[in-house]
Amino acid sequence: MSDFVFVNNDDQRYRTLQKGFNLRFPTTGEGADAIYVCHDAQSVLAAANDALAKGCRITVRSGGHCYEGFVANKLPEDHGKSLAIIDIGLVTGLRYSEAGDVSSPWNASARYKFSAAAGNQNWDGYVNLYKSANRTLPGGSCYSVGAGGHIVGGGYGLLSRLQGLTVDWLSGVDILVPKDPGQNALVAKHVNLASVGTDRDLFIACRGGGGGNYGIILNYYFAELPVAPQQAYWLSLSYPWASFGTGATGKAAFGRFMKAYYQWFADNDADWNSSDPAKANGGLFTLLKVQHRSTGDIVLNIQYTGTDGKVGGARDQPFINFVNAMNAAAATVPSINIEANWLGPTRRLTEAPLDLSHPVQDARLMDWLWLTQNINGSGSNQRGKYKSSYHRANFTDVEITAMWEYLNGTADPRLNQALVQIDSYGGRINRNDETLNPTSVPQRSSLLKSQFQVYWTDPADDAFYLKWISDLYDEYFGQYGGKPVYQPGSPFEGCYINYPDVDMKYTNQTHAQIDPGWLHLYYGNKVNQLIATKRSVDPDNLFHHQMSIPLTPPV
């Protein structure tokens, strides 16, 4: 089948399909002229080549969760060229063979156990892997995120401290790339670590180099995947801002709580896969939501499973130790959130809360698959802005002051969906051997990963929210020029490309001047290789967006 559905402004679906899961985009008047809805690999190839033959710039969408307008927006440098979105969200499916005889249509000799189409969404992928093979992929918990962008950006999730990043398991890809310079056409190929020359470099770029840079990924291949856990605990705790007190004393108490969060992982991360089940903590994933006081309390969400995918007995000790350490640092007994959002804002409890009595007794024990379903919400589709950072050292007084002032300083009803979400990191992620198993993810020494978030619905409020989150971020990283830069003495390790932020491309909020070091924030020591691969694979820059890998280093 090579047919595709062509949607333009004559089609009733046109305005809807211009959009993804962030209603800030497309910017008014800057949306795609056409959307090609594809159903299989051949229709993706046919659609892309049809759009290129018509002189369009093409972008690709799987789940539609891009945090910026990379898929939906035209660019000034396109000089009036039409924009076409190649939508692969219906290109789905999983192939599995325990004998390892899954092969690519473009390389019959390369064999794998698993092949997953790039249009798969997280939840469907987890269910399919679990029911077919009792395996999983350590990806994200947002059910509707598409594999196409999630994996290529180096996706991580609740099992990553135990099982690593998604790209650490990636063994091969089918990808559409430019056929020849000057031809404006694509061709399919299969690449993996056994490939040579530019093809091998291209595969490594697909292991964390971000989407929309080199081509359109059709299928992901895996020689092996980790066994899925059997069961897990889920516990959500609330710490009211008022429990820390006010003024300088309150800020100091809040600072002790935040520093205890980092310190627990600093003290215990080395035991992520200890042979002693009472120490092995790789199955602990935590998500600390430092919310604006108008949003709600500070919320700590926890998923825990033992390194063997079970709970109970000595396995529970790391979970208990962590909860007890955080409660001691807070100097208060938290309340239990019975039905809390895993991701995004958690509104303040309206019913009388229940206080925590014991981590295990009060946690919800569930089969892992159904727990994954229980917390897999994507939230409502709104307008949003996001920023990120990796932490390889504890919080300083500068960062604590920024959070205290911007999140607790004033009650502003407009900030009823604003937070800094700080995830646990490290474990197996930081043990990947980049010589034997090379990826394009440079952040391999951080213990926490932050996502700054704010949501709203009215386009007229854009300027307020964009300025608020930018001001918070600038103050938070004030010691380092307003960015989580890599440099000697910096406690940070840059930003996550799957949480892209166009502000990072520029020297300040005016966007008047490009920051020549912006790529380094996302790709660290991988920058030069990614640029060289771009020149080899896509010398005509057919695939580009506002923060794509350029043909030459920025100046």
pLDDT of residue 487 exceeding 50: yes
pLDDT of 349 higher than 60: no
Place of tokens 């407009």: 414
Q: pLDDT per residue over 207-222, tens digit each? A: 999 999 999 999 999 9
Question: Do 211 and 322 share a domain, yes or no?
Answer: no
Q: Is residue 508 part of a domain?
A: no
Distance between CA atoms of residues 420 and 405, nearest Å = 13
Together in a domain, 185 and 274: no
The answer as to whether 207 is a domain residue is yes
The verdict on 216 and 298 lying in the same domain is: no
Based on the fold, state whether residues 77 and 191 are members of the same structural domain: no
Q: Let me know the angle formed at the C-alpha of 75 by 73 and 79, rounded to the nearest 5 degrees.
A: 130
Q: Looking at 331-461, list the stretches that DSSP marks H as alpha helix, in order from N- to C-terminal side.
A: 359-362, 368-374, 397-408
Domain tally, the chain: 3
3-state secondary structure 223-282: CCCCECCCEEEEEEEEECHHHHCCHHHHHHHHHHHHHHHHHHHHHHHHHCCCCCCCCCCC
61 and 123, same domain (yes or no) = no
Q: Are 261 and 326 in contact (CB under 8 A)?
A: yes
Q: What is the pLDDT of residues 497-532, one digit of tens each?
A: 999 999 999 999 999 999 999 999 999 999 999 999
- Does residue 202 lie in a domain region? yes
Tell me, what's the pLDDT at 314?
Answer: 98
495 located within any domain: yes
Q: Which residue has the tokens 């918990």?
A: 141
What's the CA gap between 418 and 461, in Å, rounded?
14
The amino acid present at 162, given as its one-letter code, is: L
Contacting residues for 352 by C-beta, under 8 A, at least 6 apart: none
Same domain, 402 and 533: no
* 259 and 204 inside one domain: no
Both 368 and 219 in a single domain? no
Q: Given a cut of 80, is residue 252 above it in pLDDT?
A: yes
The reply to whether 506 falls in a domain is no
Q: What is the mean pLDDT of the chain?
A: 96
Confidence at residue 56, expressed as pLDDT on a 0 to 100 scale: 97
Is the model's pLDDT at 352 over the cut of 80?
Answer: no
Question: Can you give the CATH number for the domain in which 29 is found?
Answer: 3.30.465.10
Residues 403 and 289 both lie in one domain: yes
CA dist., res. 150 & res. 161, Å (int) = 17
Q: Classify residue 555: in a domain, yes or no.
A: no
Provide the pLDDT confidence category of residue 488 given band limits of 50, 70 and 90.
confident
In a domain, 409, yes or no: yes
Whether pLDDT at 77 is above 90: no
Name which residue leads in pLDDT, 252 or 488: 252
In the chain, % of residues over pLDDT 90? 92
- What's the average model confidence in pLDDT over 29-33? 92
CB 159 within 8 A of CB 372: no
| Residues 367, 126 contacting (CB under 8 angstroms) | no
* Residue 203 sits in the same domain as residue 335: no
Say yes or no: 346 and 491 in one domain.
Answer: yes
CB 357 within 8 A of CB 333: no
pLDDT band at 1 (very low <50, low <70, confident <90, very high): very low
Residue 512 domain-assigned (yes or no): no
Structure pTM? 0.96
Range of the domain at 199: 94-228+529-537
- How far apart (Å, rounded) are the C-alpha atoms in residues 72 and 27? 8
The reply to whether 334 and 453 lie within a common domain is: yes
